[in-house]
Amino acid sequence: MWYQTKITRLLGIQYPILLGPMGGGFSTTALLAAVSNAGGLGSFGAYTLSPEEMLRAAEEIRLKTDKPYNVNLWVSDVDEQLQTYPLKELERVKGLFKPYFDELGVPLPDLQTDIPSKFEKQVEALFQIRPAVFSFIFGIPSPEILKECRRLGIKTVGGATTLDEGILLESAGVDAIVAAGFEAGGHRPSFLQPAQDSLTGTFALVQQLKAKIKTPIIAAGGIVDGKGIAAALTLGADAVQLGTAFLACEESNATAVHRELLFSQATKYTVLSKSLTGRMGRMLRNRISQEVPFSTDVLPFPLQTRLLAALKPEAFRQGKTDLINFWSGQNAVSLTHRKAEELMQSLIEDVSEVCPSDKDFD
């Protein structure tokens, strides 16, 4: 059967369909539970959370599902440049974005470059939670962390945007690798080379990884329906990970405006930009992404995010949503489902129609 793969056996799930872990407050326990309870693997993006917030979320998850689920963290959650970032450059970038603040009548925020990483303390909370899966992007955790995961029975899944990253993840001994294609919405999680030099498409990356590594592969980026899932499995993926299709569902923590845009003509135009967060990510085209091109130096992550976060509430209030960052993958033009349970059922039924019952993808 199409749904019997290395990943379903490894993670103890019924279907090789994974919820993309949405950081930045977009994840909810309800969305995670809807996917896990339907036989997939629900995920929770926790990179912005404190350890205490992670523990509270885990308690909520336990009330909603007893199925396997994934917690995702960022190995590198603060750009190294912030350690020595010059005040003069900070003021220059603030000046570059000042016209947007003036337009909304919002004062420029006071920003501090001393932003400590949360990752090590978050991992301590993760060990207490003991989810079935720990996925991570923007690097590889230390051998000690991976060893402790193995001791606790937590499966580890790393994100790769290139073949070189996949090979390095396999050498670190991870249990599975996400082939993160450049079609995917959200941040581009490259860690060996700059993101702009790591733009391999999902299906090309799946085939490259399949040819050179033995670790199970999860295809991510541009997959929104059963045909996309079947295509990924046919090319050698052991599972798929969907983000934007679930982000559009009511159970996600995306705003109503964001969700409606994902069902609109706006999805025809996505861009890769670093101007709104400091790291390259795929989003719906907006004024800032157009007026501040990728070549423009902006603040390192997450300082750039904190700068523009001060704009967001007033931009919403004034209806100037063209100043707000709305994440979206490149293939959202045909989204139809607004409920996660209905989306999961549709995906399962559609793949079953495309794939013969005796088709072996293993």
Q: pLDDT digits over 345-356, tens only?
A: 999 999 999 886
Q: How is residue 292 written in tokens?
A: 């501040």
pTM of the model: 0.96
Q: How is residue 221 written in tokens?
A: 């980026």
pLDDT recorded at residue 360? 61
272 in a structural domain = no
Q: Given a cut of 90, is residue 79 above it in pLDDT?
A: yes
Going by pLDDT thresholds of 50, 70 and 90, the confidence category of residue 7 is very high
User: Helix, strand or coil for residue 239?
Assistant: strand
- Pairing outcome for strands 69-74 and 42-45: parallel
Cβ-defined contacts of 236-239 (< 8 Å, 24+): 236/206, 236/207, 236/209, 236/210, 237/179, 237/206, 237/210, 238/5, 238/6, 238/7, 238/16, 238/176, 238/361, 239/5, 239/7, 239/8, 239/16, 239/17, 239/18, 239/176
205 in a structural domain = yes
Mean pLDDT of the 168-181 span: 98
Q: How is residue 110 written in tokens?
A: 């006071």
| Alpha-carbon gap, residue 5 to 154, rounded angstroms | 19
CA atoms within a 13 Å half-sphere pointing along the CA-CB vector of 252: 31
311 in a structural domain = no
Cβ-defined contacts of 15-18 (< 8 Å, 24+): 15/39, 15/40, 15/344, 15/347, 15/348, 16/233, 16/238, 16/239, 16/240, 17/41, 17/229, 17/239, 17/240, 17/242, 17/344, 17/347, 17/348, 18/43, 18/70, 18/218, 18/239, 18/240, 18/241, 18/242
pLDDT recorded at residue 362? 65
290 in a structural domain = no
43, 23 in Cβ contact below 8 A?
no
Q: Domain containing 10: what range?
A: 6-78+116-254+334-354
Q: What is the pLDDT of residues 209-246, one digit of tens each?
A: 999 999 999 999 999 999 999 999 999 999 999 999 99
CATH no. for residue 59? 3.20.20.70
pLDDT recorded at residue 203? 98
Q: How is residue 120 written in tokens?
A: 């090590």
Of the candidates 187, 204, 225, 186, the one whose C-alpha atom is nearest the C-alpha of residue 334 is 225
For residue 13, how far is the Cα from the chain centroid?
A: 20
Mean pLDDT of the 84-91 span: 96
282 in a structural domain = no
263 in a structural domain = no
Domains held by the chain: number: 1
Q: How is residue 77 written in tokens?
A: 């959650």
List phi, psi (to 5°) of 4. -100, 100
| Alpha-carbon gap, residue 323 to 99, rounded angstroms | 12
259 in a structural domain = no
99 in a structural domain = no
Give 258's contacts (C-beta < 8 A, 6+ positions apart).
247, 326, 327
User: Helix, strand or coil for residue 345?
Assistant: helix
